[in-house]
A and B are shown apart, each in its own frame.
Chain A
Amino acid sequence: MNHEQAERLLSARIDGERLSTRASASLEQHLETCAECRAFERGAYRLREAARFEVAPAVPDLVDQVMTAVGAEGERPRSRLRVVRPAGSPRRSILPRLAPVAAALVVGALIGSLVVGGPWQRPETGSALAATEVTEGISAAAVRLDAYQATFAIDERNLSPEVPDRHLTMRVSFESPERFRLDVVDRTVYPMAATPTNLRLVVDGSTWYAAGPAPCPTATCPQRESVVRNRLPFSTAAPIPTDLVLPISTLADADRLTVLGRGTVLGRPAVRVEVPFERAEPLFPFLSIGGDWRPFFPNDRVRIWLDERNWFPLRWDVYPATGGERDAWALRFGLPDEPSLRSLFSVRALHVSLDTPEAGAFDIPPTNSSQDQGARVVELGHVRREIGFEPLAPSTVGGLDRYRVVLPLDDAGGTLVAYADGLAFLNLGETRSWNGDAPFGPVSVQAEEISLSGGGVAYYEPASRDHGRRVAIHAAGTDLYLESNLPRSELLAAAAALPVQGLPMPDAWTHRRVGAATAERVSLETARASVPFPVEVPTALPAGFGLASVELVDAGFGAGVTLYLRDEDADAGIGTIRLHLEAASALPPATSAAQSTVGVDGVQGRFTPDRSQLEWIDGGLYRSLDAPGLALQELLAIATSIGGDETDR
């Protein structure tokens, strides 16, 4: 044992830390022969004596001051309870996840809450402009836009104590339908050696390129490069961050945005709207391309100034959410106090134009490695020769033009026809040999059944974090899906304009096994007729939510019913609300350490925060309510509304 080791052990022993028998014995042995270490021990006790005597300055009595401040705090409106995502989890990577379109059957995990200003009442704004005018204005502007160029200044606060302010510039170029370029140049003067956050994203139709430093804690971070070739049109796995041009995804749902007022930005009339950060992530695509960035709380407020004439985002700022949970989150990240009225992060347009970007703007830099999404572009006239059928075409596609026909590399042996105009797109996938156990395309068995205007049925799902709005149609001899950023009504009109009659889902899809249980998709009426207890749809739901589908579930203890409730436009954020009912006299055994007891409408229930699940038993009926993006208070509001007047969609 050397001095260093002996001193370390001594130091720990002085502090009452337990040493192993072996360490203790060898320390004693060392001390016997080492005068220097014995001196260290004496010195350490002397320091202790000095330190413990030292700390006796007169301590003021602050109880009254503290309690006055605390009393004032209690009068402030309490923040509503909501689920906080674990640190580091919410940032989704923009880097491509390669999955054949037909295999992407399961809607991705949906997290976060979209509710602004308390449970589901749209705040009064006093503005003459309605939220629907904003969403409709953006949808209309999307189809008109052929080219765009802009330069932005980005200011970031509190990356770290050493780097309290950063300044970057961002250049964005777009040419319809799928050419895009984003360059971020870091202009920060760092006080220490650091890798600047310089980023590049270039998309030229079927090729997608992204480069930037990997996030890392050291001074020299490795550069990362991702390339996707033979990209599927409007691929959501290798996406184009077009919200920087027009925030179509961010502001897709009028129920989830607040119009704050009007003003002038860059000399143009502008309207200001607010959405929570988790909803506005498409406006911050650079965060996931590379480099280190400050963290954001899901409920931080993003205030966006939109040009009132063409709906371009001119300036957007992130302000911290208020409340104890945001404070606790900030503590975990070691963030300083962030005043709620001071912008944490701002993106400001310096220059916007509609000029076509110069030749070469969308050239993909030379690179060695690449991933292949396997989408082979073909002439429409050659499709029959290639795969034996000619794809169906709608008589109208919301005014979009056919842009590209590809043969995806997957087992479905189908076609994908992309339609586009400006920033709007619609993908139409078709196969004549579908033998999967769920609808063809990224549509789940729980999708809402829609009667199309031309007859027949289709299955609809709202926009999610991973997909646009989509519809699946199962018809005699063919299976189709449509995915689009068009509004719901236009997507359904395009589906109705297909020369097919959609059939209800076959039994092979509606009957499925879930572990040891069986589940069968049925109508609400069938469910009610099949179980001995009342099946009631909650009446208090977030705006835009309604009943999408119903399943009869049997795990061998008698039938239960599961209701799936979804938003009609975009459910990224709240996700699917599920209500399961089953005859039972006691709650199932606890399944999570974090569960707590709560009162639900006068009876005792159980809340599991990590699943946002509320369970309770009332009148011999077990009820389980869960929604990934809802907080306890909101779940309770839904729970207590069950049994009121029914409003089925």
Chain B
Amino acid sequence: MNDPDPRTLTRAREGDLGAFEDLVRQYQADVWRFAYHFTRDRSLADDVTQEAFLRAFRFLRGFRGDSKFTSWLFRIARNCAMDQIKARNVYVERVTPIAGSSTDPQTRVELHAALDAVSAEHREPFMLVEVFGLSYQEAADVLGVRVGTIKSRMHRARRAMMDALAVEEEAR
């Protein structure tokens, strides 16, 4: 995922609402998808996206570029998602099929079964790296863990998901 044009970022930091709107346009889909994967609920994902950008707007002056902007934004989105989940006391562990997905149903079911087989601890880095294409360092920044932790969680996530898929196949 590309970081924004530094000039847009600078203007947004200085309080330029037009520049901030450009950032919202550029990243809202990624933030929403990330929120959706976290909450597995469309309306929660809407709320999380809105709240994440609101917080990003508040904190933007304090964003010093220690990490990539996208990592920073995802970190905020993740915190918002956790707050929402806690506030509503919901965590949709079971999968609700997504309307409008273009993939064939078989693949989808497989993936959901596999994702359900791993803990949130392993699902999160998997989603960040596989789905959103973050590097290990960026995923580590988002989750506030070390790169080595991402590395071993990615491995365990893959192993667990493959094992779950193998069991599914055998059962069929």
Interface set of A (CB-CB < 8 Å, partner B): 7-8, 11-12, 15-17, 40, 43-44, 47-63, 65-67, 69-71, 73-74, 161, 323-325, 327-328, 331, 334, 336-337
Chain B interface residue count, CB cutoff 8 Å, equals 59
Select one of B29, B59, B155 contacting A11, CB under 8 A.
B155
| CB pair B98 A57 closer than 8 Å | yes
Q: Which B-chain residue is minimally distant from A47 (CB atoms)? A: B161
- Give 13 A-B contacts (CB < 8 Å), ordered by A residue: A40-B162, A44-B162, A47-B165, A51-B126, A53-B107, A54-B111, A57-B101, A59-B28, A60-B32, A60-B46, A67-B21, A71-B17, A73-B58
Please give the distance in Å from B152's CB to the nearest CB on chain A. Answer: 7
Please give the distance in Å from B7's CB to the nearest CB on chain A. Answer: 18
CA distance A71 to B107 in the complex (A): 42
Select one of B28, B126, B151, B165 contacting A66, CB under 8 A.
B28
A11-B158, A50-B103, A336-B83 known; A328 vs B59 contact (CB < 8 Å) = yes
| CB pair A11 B151 closer than 8 Å | yes
CA distance A331 to B141 in the complex (A): 13
| CB pair A47 B130 closer than 8 Å | yes
A61-B28, A69-B54 known; A54 vs B49 contact (CB < 8 Å) = no
Please give the distance in Å from A336's CB to the nearest CB on chain B. Answer: 5
| CB pair B28 A161 closer than 8 Å | no
CA distance A349 to B68 in the complex (A): 48
| CB pair A43 B162 closer than 8 Å | yes
Give the chain A neighbours of B87 by CB distance below 8 A.
336-337
| CB pair A55 B99 closer than 8 Å | no
Select one of A50, A62, A69, A331 contacting B32, CB under 8 A.
A62
CA distance A331 to B129 in the complex (A): 22
| CB pair A44 B17 closer than 8 Å | no
Please give the distance in Å from A560's CB to the nearest CB on chain B. Answer: 32
A50-B111, A324-B62, A336-B86 known; A44 vs B158 contact (CB < 8 Å) = yes
B55 part of interface (Cβ distance < 8 Å): yes
| CB pair B57 A73 closer than 8 Å | yes
Please give the distance in Å from A52's CB to the nearest CB on chain B. Answer: 7
B69 part of interface (Cβ distance < 8 Å): no
Number of A-B contacts (CB under 8 A): 147
Select one of B21, B76, B99, B154 contacting A58, CB under 8 A.
B99
Please give the distance in Å from A607's CB to the nearest CB on chain B. Answer: 14
Q: Which B-chain residue is minimally distant from A16 (CB atoms)? A: B135
| CB pair B86 A51 closer than 8 Å | no
Please give the distance in Å from B41's CB to the nearest CB on chain A. Answer: 12
Q: Which 9 A-B pairs have CB atoms at the shortest separation, nearest pair first?
A: A324-B58, A53-B103, A11-B155, A50-B111, A57-B98, A58-B100, A43-B162, A59-B29, A66-B53
Give the chain B neighbours of A62 by CB distance below 8 A.
24, 28, 32, 46, 49-50, 53
Please give the distance in Å from B40's CB to the nearest CB on chain A. Answer: 11
CA distance A44 to B130 in the complex (A): 10
Bitwise, B78-119 to A at CB < 8 A (1) or not (0) is 010011001100000000001111110001101100100000
Give the chain A neighbours of B129 by CB distance below 8 A.
15
Q: Which B-chain residue is minimally distant from A43 (CB atoms)? A: B162
CA distance A49 to B131 in the complex (A): 10
| CB pair B54 A59 closer than 8 Å | no
Select one of A47, A323, A324, A336 contacting B111, CB under 8 A.
A47
Give the chain A neighbours of B98 by CB distance below 8 A.
57
CA distance A11 to B139 in the complex (A): 15
CA distance A144 to B155 in the complex (A): 69
CA distance A54 to B57 in the complex (A): 30
Give the chain B neighbours of A70 by CB distance below 8 A.
17, 20, 53-54, 57
Q: Which of B34-62 contact A (CB under 8 A)?
A: 36-37, 42, 46, 49-50, 53-55, 57-59, 61-62
Q: Which A-chain residue is minimally distant from B125 (CB atoms)? A: A15
Please give the distance in Å from B111's CB to the nearest CB on chain A. Answer: 4
CA distance A188 to B37 in the complex (A): 34
Please give the distance in Å from A548's CB to the nearest CB on chain B. Answer: 34
Please give the distance in Å from A322's CB to the nearest CB on chain B. Answer: 10
A57-B100, A66-B54 known; A47 vs B114 contact (CB < 8 Å) = yes
CA distance A336 to B85 in the complex (A): 10
Select one of B25, B50, B58, B102 contacting A53, CB under 8 A.
B102
| CB pair A56 B101 closer than 8 Å | yes
| CB pair A336 B82 closer than 8 Å | yes
| CB pair A324 B136 closer than 8 Å | no
CA distance A71 to B54 in the complex (A): 10
